[in-house]
A and B are shown apart, each in its own frame.
Chain A
C-alpha cells in the first residue's frame, strides 16, 4: 500500500503547489491590475483615507477635503464651484474623476514618484498620510471677469500669458456644481450625473479644451502666417477683388460675408483682406499656397497634435490631402478645419510672443503638506511658428483690424488691442460659431485672449463675431489691464 500512498502524497503536494502558485499569482503578480480595476471599491476607499491635497488659486483652495463622519472620512468640497468646475473637475465616490482631480490624482493622493520619500517619512514619524496640494496658474480676477463677461452664452473664454503659456483664465459655460457629484450617496450622484449628461448644453464638457468648432475667420491668422513665412507675400501683396469666387474644378461659389467685394478697387491687399476679414482673397491665397503649406504652418501652432495641460486637450484638426475647392474653404477656417479655444489662444499667444509657441499650462506648483514646493512648472517652448519679423507684421495687421476693421468692438481707449474675429458656419441652417482671438497691449503683450460663443450666441445666423465675441474679450481685457 505504501507505493500507492507515496503517489497520493505526490498528488497532495501538487494540489498545495497549485494553491501556493495561485495565491502568489493573485497577490503578487496580478495585484496591481486588480487594484487598478475601476470596480475595486477598496482602492476607492483607500483614496479617501489620505487627506487629498487641495487645489489652490492664488493660495486659496477651490477644491479641498473636509473631514466627514462616515466611511470615506473626507468629503471633497469645492469653493466657487461653477466658476472653477472646468479646472477642478470632480472627484466622485462612484466613477472616475475628471479635470485636475483626474490629471493630478497621483500628486493629490500623495502617491506620485516625487512624493515617495515623504511617504516613507510619514510612515516612520507616524503621521497620517497626506496628499500634495496643487497651485494653479489661474488669476482669480481674470477668471471672474471672463465668467461675468461671457454672461449667458454657451461658450468659453481662455486667457493666457503669451511669454509663458500660463493659463490665467479658463471659463466654460454652462457649468455645473461639482459639489453635487461628490456627496457620499451613490444614488444621488447617479441621478445628478445622468441629468447633467442628458442636458443638451453639455455642461460637463470643458469647452476650452474639449469642444471642437470650425474656426472661421480666426483661422486666417494661420493662413496669413503661412503666406508671410513663405517669403512670396507681404501685407501689400494683391489679389483680384471679386464679389464671387469659384475655385478651380468646382461650381460652388464663395462669397465675402458682407456680400460684394472687399473694399473698392480692382485688387485688394492681404492687409486689407485680413483687416476686413474677406473670404475671397483668402480662398485665392489658400489655393495659391496649397493645403500642405497651410497644414505645416497650422501644425507648428499645435494643430493635429496632442497636448496636456495636464488635462488632455482635444486635438485641433487641419485635414490632409485637400483638393483646391476644399483648400479654398479651409483657408478661411471652414470645410473640416476644427479647433479648440485653447488652440486659438496658442495662435494669438505665439504672435504676441514674437513667433514662439509656448506650451499652455495650468499647474504652477505641487506643494507638499508643509507648503514646500515638490515640483515647479517652468515655461516650455513648443517651437517657433514664424520669425519675429512676421510676428511683428501680423501684430500690426491685427491692431489695424481692431482700430479700423472687422474687430472694432474690441477697441479699448488708450491701449492697442490686436485681434481677429470669426463667424463660422455649421452647415446651411445651424447657428453660427462666433470667435474672437487677440492680445493686449500690442506693444508689450501681457494677455492673450480667445472667446468662443457656440450656438450663435442665441441669435441663430444673425449674430457675428464682432457683435458678440469681441465685446466679451474687451470686457475681460479691461478688467485685467485695470488691475
Chain B
C-alpha cells in the first residue's frame, strides 16, 4: 500500500507526509459511514411501509440519534486513531442497523411498542455499546497496555464466565444458564464480555510461554508432541469448556471459547499437533456429552433428522429449526422484501434466528451480502495480524477477528444445518445487549490495533 502510494504521489515535496495520508482514510470512512446510515434509515422506512403501511417517526428519530453517535465515534477516531482501518466502523454500523430494522419488523408483527419493544431496547443498547467503544478508544491509547494485565484479564474472563452460576444472580432462559439479572434493567450475558477478556489473556499468555509450548517435546508420527507438563493450559481450557457444557448447558459458548483458544495456540506455536490434540479432546468430550446429556443428544438428533415428523413434534425437537428453514425457503433468491414475509412464525426470530428472518425478507442475495460484510470485517482483523509487528498485537487482533468469524459460523451454520444448532447470538445483528457491547468493544480494539500497525514506521519496507 505504502509502495503504491509512493509511486502515485508527486515527487520532491514532503514525501513523508504524503506517504501516510491519514485524512484520506478517515474521509473514506466518513463516506462509507454515511452510506451505512442511509441503508439503515431506508431499512427502517421500508419496514414501516411494508409491515405498517405508514410512516412512524419514533424509530426513525431513535435511528437518527444512533447515526449521530457513530459519527461522533468517527470524529473521536479522527483525533485518537487517525490511521485506523476505515472499513470496520461502517460494517459494524450497517450490521447493527439492519439488525435493529429486523427486530423492529418483528415487534410490529408481535404488536410490541414502547419499552416492551425489543427494537427500542436494542437501540438503547446500541447507543450504550457505541459509547463503550468510544471509551475504549479514549482510554486504551496503546494496546500493549493490555499485555500487562494478561492474568487479570484471564481471571476476569473466568469469573464473568461463571457468574451466572452464582445463586440468586444467575438466570436460566430456555435451558441455558448464561444470563445474570441486572436490577430491573433486564438480563445480561457476561460470557459475551468474557470472550474479549479471554482473548486478551490467551494472547498475553501465549506470547509469554510460546517457546516452551512450541520448541520442546518428542517427535511422534512426524509431528512434535508437547511434554506432559506443558499440557496444563490446554487441559485447563478444555475443562473450562466442558464445565460450560455441563453446568451452563451452553454448547455454543463452549465451542466458541475452545475454538478461539485452539486457533490462538496454533498461531503462537505453529504446531499442528496442538490442534489435533485439542480437536480430539473436544470431540471426545462432545461425544461423551451427547451420550450422557439429554440436551446435547437432542441437538444432534434435531440436526441429523430435522424433517422427521417424530423429531419435529418432540418436546425440544426440531420444530424451531424447521420453521427457520421454512422461512429461508420462503425468502428464496430475492426475499419477500422488508415487512412482507412472516418471520414471526419462527420462535425467537429476533435473536438466535435473526439470520433466518433476514433470509426470508432479503433472500439469498441479502444473506450473501451480510456474509460478505462479516467476511470483510474478519479480513480487516486478519490484515492487522499480517501487518502487525508485535506478536501480542498480532495474536490479539486475529483472536478477536476469529471469534467473530467462529460465532457467525456456529450460529448461521446451526440455523442452516451445517452443524448442530447451539444458541449463540449473530454478532451485531441479533437482539441482545451484552452481545452488542462485546462486539462494539471488539470493533474498538480492532480500530485501535489497526491504527498502531499503520502508525509504526516499518522496519523493513
**A interface residues (Cβ-Cβ under 8 A, vs B):** 1-5, 8-9, 11-12, 15-16, 18-20, 22-28, 30-35, 37, 39-43, 45
How far apart are the CA atoms of A23 and B379 in the complex, in Å?
A: 21
Q: Hey, which chain B residues are within 8 Å of A43, CB to CB?
A: 330
- Distance in angstroms between the alpha carbons of A39 and B405 in the assembled complex: 33
Decide yes or no: A26 and B328 within 8 Å by CB, A5-B267, A18-B418 being known contacts. yes
Closest-CB distance, B92 to chain A (whole angstroms): 18
Tell yes or no: B266 within 8 A of A by CB.
Answer: yes
- B367 in the interface (beta carbon within 8 A): yes
Contacts of A45 in B (CB 8 A): 342
Interchain CB contact (< 8 A) of A26 among B325, B375, B379, B386: B325
Contact B270 A28 (CB under 8 A): no
A to B CB contacts below 8 Å, 18 in the list: A1-B268, A1-B270, A1-B391, A3-B270, A4-B267, A5-B385, A9-B379, A9-B382, A15-B405, A19-B418, A23-B359, A23-B412, A26-B329, A26-B359, A40-B326, A41-B342, A42-B327, A42-B341
Instruction: Chain B residues near A26: list those with CB within 8 A.
Output: 325, 328-329, 359, 416-417
Could you tell me the dominant secondary structure of chain B's interface residues?
helix
Q: Any chain A CB within 8 A of the CB of B22?
A: no
Confirm or deny: B307 has a beta carbon within 8 angstroms of a beta carbon on chain A: yes
**B402/A22 in contact, CB under 8 A:** no
Kindly state whether residue B80 has any CB partner on chain A within 8 Å: no
Minimum CB–CB distance from B12 to chain A (whole Å) comes to 35
Identify the closest chain A residue to B326 (Cβ): A40
| Residues of chain A within 8 A of B391, CB atoms compared | 1
Whether B413 pairs with A18 at a CB distance below 8 angstroms is yes
Partner of B375, one of A16, A30, A40: A16
Contact B329 A30 (CB under 8 A): yes
The answer to whether residues A34 and B378 also contact, given A3-B270, A45-B342 and a CB cut-off of 8 A, is no
Q: Are B333 and A20 in contact (CB under 8 A)?
A: no
Q: How far is the CB of A97 from chain B (nearest CB, A)?
A: 20
B residues bordering A, Cβ < 8 Å? Answer: 263, 266-268, 270, 307, 312, 322, 325-333, 341-342, 345, 359, 363-364, 367-368, 371, 374-375, 378-379, 382, 385-386, 391, 394-395, 398, 402, 405-406, 408-409, 412-413, 416-418
- In the complex, are the beta carbons of B332 and A28 less than 8 A apart? yes
Q: Could you say which of B329, B363, B382 contacts A35, with CB atoms under 8 Å apart?
A: B329
Alpha-carbon distance between A1 and B398 when the two chains are bound, in angstroms: 11
CA distance A25 to B415 in the complex (A): 13
Bound complex: CA A9 to CA B327 (Å): 31
Q: Which of B266, B325, B368, B378 contacts A20 (CB 8 A)?
A: B368
Among A5, A18, A23, point to the contact of B328 (Cβ < 8 A).
A23
- Given known pairs A1-B394, A12-B378, the reply for A19 and B413 (CB within 8 Å) is yes
Min distance, Cβ B422 to any Cβ of chain A, angstroms? 15
Chain B CB count within 10 A is highest, among A3, A28, A34, A35, for: A34
Q: Report how far A30 CA is from B307 CA in the complex, Å.
A: 12
CA distance A15 to B405 in the complex (A): 8
Q: Does B386 contact A2, Cβ atoms closer than 8 Å?
A: yes
Q: Which of B326, B330, B413 contacts A22 (CB 8 A)?
A: B413
What 3 A-B pairs come out closest when comparing CB atoms?
Answer: A34-B329, A22-B416, A31-B329
A18 to B345, CA, bound (A): 26
Q: Given the known inter-chain contacts A16-B375, A42-B345, please indicate yes or no for A5 contacting B386, CB distance below 8 A.
A: yes
Which A residues lie within 8 Å of B406 (CB)? 15
Whether A5 pairs with B382 at a CB distance below 8 angstroms is yes
A27 near B270: Cβ-Cβ < 8 Å: no
Cβ contact within 8 Å between B330 and A42: yes
Q: Which residues of B contact A15 (CB under 8 A)?
A: 405-406, 408-409, 413
Point out the residues of chain A lying under 8 angstroms from B405, CB to CB.
12, 15-16
Q: A26-B328, A42-B330, A42-B342 are in contact. Are A19 and B364 (CB under 8 A)?
A: no
A18 to B409 CA separation, bound complex (whole angstroms): 9
Interchain nearest-CB distance for A23 vs B (Å): 5
Q: Is the CB of B267 within 8 A of A8?
A: yes
Q: Give the one of A16, A19, A20, A35 with max B CB within 10 A.
A: A19
| Docked-complex contact A27 and B374, CB < 8 angstroms | no
Residue of B nearest to A11 (CB): B263
**Bound-complex Cα distance A18 to B341 (A):** 26
- Distance A105 CA – B359 CA, assembled complex (angstroms): 28
